[in-house]
Amino acid sequence: MRQRQRGFTLVEAGATLSILAIVATLALPGFQDLLQHRHTEGVASELATDLQFLRSEAVARNQALRASFVTLPDGGTCYVLHTGAASACGCQADGSPSCTGEAQQIKTVLLPAGSRASVQANVGSIVYEPRHGTSTPAATIRVTGLDGRTVHHVVNIMGRVRSCSPRAEFSGYRAC
C-alpha cells in the first residue's frame, strides 16, 4: 500500500513563481506612477499648509514672517519659513538652513536634486504682515513632479492660497 503524498513538486513551484514574477513586472510601472503622483501631491499639500501656517503665525506673533524659495547649485530646491529680511535666510549648498543677523528659521523643507518633486516660485520670497495677515507680493508657486505634472499655488495679496493644476493633471484640483 502506498501513501498519498501531499505538497507541490519543484516544477509546480517554479511555474507559479515564474507567473508571479511576470505579473509583478507588468504591475510595477503603474505602481511607480502612483508613487510619483502621491509624492508630488504630498509636497504640494505640505507647502499649502506651511503657507497658511505662516500667515496665522505672523498674526499670532504680531511679527512679519517670510517664506523664501531657493534653487540650490546642484539643482535641488528648498524653502525656508523665517523671520527677518528676504536675504536673511536661505539654504546652503547641502540644503541646511542658514540665517544671518537676528533672523530665525521656523521651518525648512529640502527637496534635493533627483527627488520626486521640486518647488519653483516666481518670486524670491513672500512676506506676511502681522496686522491683517496679508502677503506681499502676490505669487505663484509650482510643485513639479519628475513626470512633469504640476500643482500651482497662487497666493493672493490677502494671503490666501488657491491651488490648481494645469490641464487638471491632478484629481481634486481645478484646472488653471
Residue 77, pLDDT above cutoff 70: yes
4 in any annotated domain: no
Residue-wise pLDDT for 130-152, tens only, equals 999 999 999 999 999 988 899 99
54 in any annotated domain: yes
3 in any annotated domain: no
**Residue 108's beta-bridge partner residues?**
80
Question: What's the pLDDT at 25?
Answer: 75
101-105 own/partner pairs: CB under 8 Å, 24+ apart: 105/80, 105/81
Task: Among 6-10, 116-120, 169-173, name the one with the lowest average pLDDT.
Answer: 6-10
Task: Report the run of H or E that residue 20 belongs to, with start and end.
Answer: helix 10-61
Domain total of the chain: 1
Residue 1, pLDDT above cutoff 70: no
CATH number, domain containing residue 110:
3.55.40.10
Taking the C-alpha atoms of residue 60 and residue 107, their distance in angstroms, rounded to an integer, is 17
| Local confidence band at 114 (pLDDT 50, 70, 90 cut-offs) | confident
66 in any annotated domain: yes
Residue-wise pLDDT for 22-64, tens only, equals 877 776 677 778 888 889 999 999 999 999 999 999 999 999 9
5 in any annotated domain: no
171 in any annotated domain: yes
Q: How many CB atoms lie within 10 A of CB 89?
A: 26
For residue 106, give the nearest of 131, 129, 79, 72 by alpha carbon.
79
152 in any annotated domain: yes
pTM: 0.81
Taking the C-alpha atoms of residue 36 and residue 42, their distance in angstroms, rounded to an integer, is 10
123 in any annotated domain: yes
Segments forming the whole domain that contains residue 48: 10-175
